[in-house]
Amino acid sequence: MPVRRRKKVKMMLPLASMGDIAFLLIIFFMLVSTFMKDTMDYDPATGADLRELQSPEISVVVDQEGKLWLQGLEAGVGQLADAVENLVGQRRHDTPVHLSVHKDLKRPDYMPVIEALSEAGVRVLMVGLQESDS
């Protein structure tokens, strides 16, 4: 009896769609990531009844050494109001600016920053951690 050789089946996984999904995910992560240009070390202040804030359009940080960072770049307090005004343009009243300050800083370190933001006329959202009930 003749023996028939079974035809070899060529197995192939279509990987092209996998690459598409992967690249979509990469694009997503690239859009939501913000890269810190330098290190900013700060401990946020804690408070009660804090709310979830909308995403920042502009971020201002005063770190534990009292250094000021605007959008991740070191800046000077003297130029802060003008720099923020340039960033927000005409939309100053509806542009949220997140202000994060190291909790142990004293008045001379944080008050000029708050005054500069007030001068720029932007919406200041102070960032802090919700106090735990325990």
Partner 1 sequence: MNRRRKREKPDAEIDVGAFADIAFLLIIFFILTTSIMRSTGQEVSLPQAQTPEDRQVDEKTPSVNILADRILFGEDEENMDRVSLEELRSKLFQLNMHDAEDQDRMIIVEVAEEVTYEMYFRVVTLISDAGGIVALVEAQ
Residues of this chain that interact with partner 1 (CB under 8 A) are: 15-16, 18-19, 22-23, 25-26, 29-30, 32-33, 45-53, 56, 62, 93, 96, 98, 101-111, 114-115, 117-119, 121, 123-130
Q: Coil, helix or strand for 99? A: strand
Find, among 73, 127, 131, 128, the residue nearest to 96 by Cα.
127
Distance CA 33, CA 43 (A): 21
Q: Please, what is the minimum distance in Å from the beta carbon of residue 4 to partner 1?
A: 24
6 versus 10: smaller Cβ distance to partner 1:
10
Find the shortest distance in angstroms from Cβ 9 to partner 1.
16
Nearer to partner 1, 1 or 32 (CB): 32
Cβ 6 to partner 1, closest distance in Å?
A: 22
The residue type found at 115 is E
Residue 58 to residue 125: CA distance in whole angstroms: 10
Positive or negative: CA dihedral 109, 111, 112, 113:
positive
CB-nearer residue toward partner 1: 79 or 130: 130
- Between 72 and 128, whose beta carbon lies closer to partner 1? 128
Nearest by Cα to 112 from 82, 78, 69: 78
